[in-house]
Amino acid sequence: MSLNYTHIGLRIREIRTLKHISQAELAEEIDMSVSYISHIETALKKASLETLVRISNAFDITIDQLLYGNQTGDTAEYATELTELMSDCSSYEKRFIYETVKFVKHCLRDNRWMLEKDSRDQY
């Protein structure tokens, strides 16, 4: 299995945005250029392992959290982000978010046949 650099770039942007860090701040923290950070986030460049470790250290996360979506069977995928996202929510807001996610998950699974049909129609 090869690494999905598009997904890694999206994860970097997602975490950077969640942590309210600009590309310029991240670039300065890891001693890279802003354009290089942009190219990693858009998968125009493939980040080296060293760069990914620097980025994960700058975000104060594990490399596993940065690589979510590239490894199959990861049951903790997005758990930290969801916890952080809801950390400032009231009990009411947490319950509302939970019920909404539960409903969306149910709808996605009930309508999965549409995705499979669309995939077949494209070929």
The domain that holds 52 is classified in CATH as 1.10.260.40
- Together in a domain, 101 and 50: no
- Together in a domain, 69 and 98: no
pLDDT tens digit sequence for 77-94: 677 778 888 899 999 999
User: What average pLDDT does this structure show over 58-80?
Assistant: 78
Q: For residues 102 and 36, what is the distance between their CA atoms, to the nearest angstrom?
A: 38
Q: For residues 107 and 113, what is the distance between their CA atoms, to the nearest angstrom?
A: 11
User: What average pLDDT does this structure show over 90-101?
Assistant: 94
81 part of a folded domain: no
Query: Residue 70 is which amino acid?
Result: N
Q: In this predicted structure, what is the pLDDT of residue 21?
A: 96
pTM of the complete model: 0.63
Which is higher by pLDDT, 82 or 97?
Answer: 97
pLDDT band at 72, cuts 50/70/90? low
Query: Residue 95: which domain range?
Result: 86-123
- Together in a domain, 61 and 120: no
pLDDT of residue 115 exceeding 90, the answer is no
Number of domains in the chain: 2
How does 44-79 read in b/e, with b if 16+ C-beta sit within 10 Å? ebebeeebbebbbebbebeeebbbbebeeeeeeeee
- Together in a domain, 52 and 4: yes
User: What average pLDDT does this structure show over 44-59?
Assistant: 96
66 part of a folded domain: yes
pLDDT band at 120, cuts 50/70/90? low
CA-derived radius of gyration, the chain: 17
- Mean pLDDT computed over every residue of the chain: 88
Q: For residues 66 and 106, what is the distance between their CA atoms, to the nearest angstrom?
A: 27
Q: In this predicted structure, what is the pLDDT of residue 81?
A: 76
pLDDT tens digit sequence for 4-35: 899 899 999 999 998 999 999 999 999 999 99
DSSP-derived 3-state class of residue 120: helix
- Together in a domain, 70 and 97: no
